[in-house]
Structure 1
Amino acid sequence: MQPVAFLPSPSQGVWHLGPIPIRAYALMIILGIVVAVWLGERRWAAKGGQPGTVIDVAVWAVPFGLVGGRLYHVITDYQRYFGDGRDPVNALKIWEGGLGIWGAVVLGAVGAVIGCRRRGISVLALGDAIAPGIAFAQAIGRWGNWWNQELYGRPLDAFWALKIDPAHRPRTADGTLDPKYADVATYHPTFLYESLWCVGVGVLVLWAGRRYRLTHGRAFALYIAAYTVGRFWIEALRIDDAHHVAGLRLNDWTSIIVFLGAVAYLYWARGRTGPEAVGAVEPAVQAEPAAEPAVEKAEESGDTPPAGPEPEDAPEDDKPGRTAEDVAAEPSADEPETAEPTPAHETENPASTENPESAAKADDVPDPAPETDIEGADGTISPTSPKPATAAESAPEPPAETAKDEPETAAEPEADSATETDADADAEVKADAEAEPRKPRAGRGDKTEDEDDAAGGTAPADETDTGAGKAEPVRDAK
């Protein structure tokens, strides 16, 4: 019996490249593995995992899975390889077909655990990433059964029925063609049913994983549960030799047990959340920037702090606008400040004009001791330091009198200064005032000394010594 329309089977599934056989069954398995690894890598990277992890784990999982699949097939169909007239060596001929998906999943999971532990990642998280890829790999691998004309179902008279050659039809125990199927040419394409079912399972896992955020192995459990449902009814259509238990094929019982286990895990892990160990590479820790000044933070936020005087007790090093060179150039507070003699034409106040606070403090510090002359061993008198000459000093002056333009000193205690009269002091001050005009006082808002006197201020720096050793205020020259 042969229907008018049917699906043809390939005439051969092996090609030889010289002495090397190229088998279509093996090509389908390899193509399925490539698809599973490619999709698993993409999903693993989406989880935040390190690229290349799935490939590294596949190095362990794929060999273990192939061995496990072959062992499951040989154990469940041992009558094909062991017994009278059977050759046990045929059990090693994996290229002739015969991989049990359950053995591949179990032993492949063992290899995956080894690979995950070596990488320090969660095997459940990896299972979620590769679950849809495994389903698509099974869909591709099932076409290897088509190339080998194996694992088909009961006879079918329909346009989608699969034609099977007489050499691949069911046989009896002695190896002869089964008379029930000798005249039947078309059968259920169970390989196609399972291939389409696996594609649907892969799509389901992709959708459910995004819709319900399946983590901690739940996506993999969904794949197992969905696949076993389809495998149960597809297994019931097959007519190849298999062991039966209570009227059901062994693979049907396996599907039932595995399905219940997957559903139980989905229920048990329904509330599991939290991070998973995906072995992501953490970015290099960068040093935190120094705290920004309050003014800069206020400018960024749009709130400008009110301008105000800088605290007087703030350390010099904390004031804005100061650099390390400025701090190094300034004298330390523990060392006495030594200033070079200031020329008379620059300022009358020997205090530094660069820092107002220093000028203010200089007014409060007592003037240094007066310079004295040292009498040598030969009776000559030599001054301790040269004194700058001024216009007023061009005329002969008493030796005890100090120059006007020298830095202010305290009252000189020499006895010969007592003979100087008030009139001489006034005349000298007027001469100095006529020789040099009045200049603004440094650090006081550019006010003149006359304005300070008019405002009631005093000018202690302009006092001169009298003959009696008593300081007398300077009278303005008018």
Structure 2
Amino acid sequence: MAVWLTRQRWAARGYDRHEVDDIAIWAVPFGVVGGRLYHVITSPDAYFGEGGNPWKALRIWEGGPGIWGAVMFGALGAWIGCRRQGISLLDFADAVAPGLALAQAVGRWGNWFNQELYGRPTTLPWGLRIDPVHRPGGSPDIATYHPTFLYESLWDIGVAFLLMWAGRRSALKRGQTFALYAAAYTVGRFWIEYLRIDEAHDFAGLRLNDWTSIAVFSVAAVFLIRSARRGEREAPPDSDTASVRSDPEERTVA
């Protein structure tokens, strides 16, 4: 889904939509590896703790990837792909951001199939029914819980539409669309993470992913503020200037 939407946005800026495929060849495998590394590093006991098995770290179908590592390493792969194509990474990041949010919205539904990563018990009408085998040990008689995967999926869809709306309503500068994605996603992830009751590392009363959200939001906010004072504007979709393609050397950011 991310590749499909990015193709449309990339072509609207006057570029070759097939370049998105060439970059994805690098970004996707890097993202898979990065997501798995983040999961293993932040949940090491099953692999390196007492009774753990390091070889299980390679079994990516047992235990999911972490989005933070997936985006970080995926960005590294995208940078390699962009360098090979002579494309600005910031330009590509701005084009991919809405599609990335939509892809995350779809990916979250894996938690529904696995009955995992749900929230606190609730009696709300949309509460998620969890089978006894997947319920927390301390509450085997409670059947319904907050469907945090659904909350995040809806939030991600909202982020995607926010990014596309902002791109049409405002003259965003290079890198601002991706920074807005990072800021908006982490706001939602913070309160959704706060509802979750699965096992996680806690620091000063907050889960590790809450602290990660705070750190990513802070970096994104600083970038948005600083870039508002300087930098080049994005070429808006469907603009007259978007149909003119510049030389690759001119498009490469120093």
The TM-score normalised by the length of structure 1 is: 0.48
Shift of 1:164: 1.1
Matches within 5 A, 1:112-127: 112-127=78-93
Residue aligning to 1:265? 223
Q: Distance in 2 between matches of 1:251 and 1:280?
A: 41
1:148 aligns with 2:107: no
Q: Secondary structure of the equivalent of 1:239?
A: coil
Q: Secondary structure of the equivalent of 1:48?
A: coil
Q: Distance in 2 between matches of 1:93 and 1:147?
A: 19
Percent identity of equivalent pairs: 63
Q: Distance in 1 between matches of 2:36 and 2:157?
A: 23
Q: Is the 8 A contact 2:171 2:233 kept in 1?
A: no
| Larger radius of gyration between Structure 1 and Structure 2 | 1
Q: Distance in 1 between matches of 2:58 and 2:26?
A: 20
Q: Distance in 2 between matches of 1:86 and 1:216?
A: 45
Q: Distance in 2 between matches of 1:158 and 1:254?
A: 29
Shift of 1:151: 0.6
1:246 aligns with 2:211: no
Amino acid of the structure 2 residue aligned with 1:247: G
Q: Secondary structure of the equivalent of 2:172?
A: coil
Residue aligning to 1:56? 22
Residue aligning to 2:183? 225
Q: Distance in 1 between matches of 2:198 and 2:34?
A: 21
Change (3 A) 1:116 1:38: same
Q: Distance in 1 between matches of 2:116 and 2:58?
A: 18
Q: Which of 273, 277, 280 does residue 245 from structure 2 map onto?
A: 280
1:81 aligns with 2:52: no
Residue aligning to 2:157? 199
Q: Secondary structure of the equivalent of 1:53?
A: helix
Q: Give CA deviations for 1:408-440 in whole Å, capped at 9, x if unaligned.
A: xxxxxxxxxxxxxxxxxxxxxxxxxxxxxxxxx
Runs (4+) of structure 1 exceeding 4 A deviation are none
Q: Is the 8 A contact 1:193 1:234 kept in 2?
A: yes
Q: Give CA deviations for 1:152-202 in whole Å, capped at 9, x if unaligned.
A: 1111112101111122223xxxxxxx2x22111111100000000000000
Q: Give CA deviations for 1:314-354 in whole Å, capped at 9, x if unaligned.
A: xxxxxxxxxxxxxxxxxxxxxxxxxxxxxxxxxxxxxxxxx
1:216 aligns with 2:182: no
Q: Give CA deviations for 1:387-419 in whole Å, capped at 9, x if unaligned.
A: xxxxxxxxxxxxxxxxxxxxxxxxxxxxxxxxx
Change (3 A) 1:169 1:215: same
Q: Distance in 2 between matches of 1:250 and 1:103?
A: 13
Q: Secondary structure of the equivalent of 2:111?
A: helix
Q: Which of 219, 223, 236 does residue 194 from structure 2 map onto?
A: 236
Shift of 1:230: 0.3
Q: Secondary structure of the equivalent of 2:30?
A: helix
Q: Is the 8 A contact 1:143 1:195 kept in 2?
A: yes
Matches within 5 A, 1:89-108: 89-108=55-74
Q: Is the 8 A contact 1:50 1:280 kept in 2?
A: no
Q: Distance in 1 between matches of 2:190 and 2:34?
A: 21
Matches within 5 A, 1:260-339: 260-270=218-228, 271-273=230-232, 280=245
1:157 aligns with 2:136: no
Q: Give CA deviations for 1:239-296 in whole Å, capped at 9, x if unaligned.
A: 11111111111110000010010011011111322577x99377xxxxxxxxxxxxxx
Shift of 1:37: 0.3
Q: Which has the higher mean CA deviation after the structures are superposed, 195-204 or 205-214?
A: 205-214
Q: Distance in 1 between matches of 2:106 and 2:19?
A: 23
Aligned residues: 239
Q: Is the 8 A contact 1:50 1:281 kept in 2?
A: no
Q: Distance in 2 between matches of 1:120 and 1:236?
A: 42
Matches within 5 A, 1:443-454: none
Q: Distance in 2 between matches of 1:90 and 1:168?
A: 21
Residue aligning to 1:468? none
Amino acid of the structure 2 residue aligned with 1:98: G
Change (3 A) 1:274 1:226: closer
Q: Give CA deviations for 1:50-74 in whole Å, capped at 9, x if unaligned.
A: 1201111000000001110111111
The TM-score normalised by the length of structure 2 is: 0.90
Q: Distance in 2 between matches of 1:238 and 1:254?
A: 15
Q: Is the 8 A contact 2:171 2:234 kept in 1?
A: no
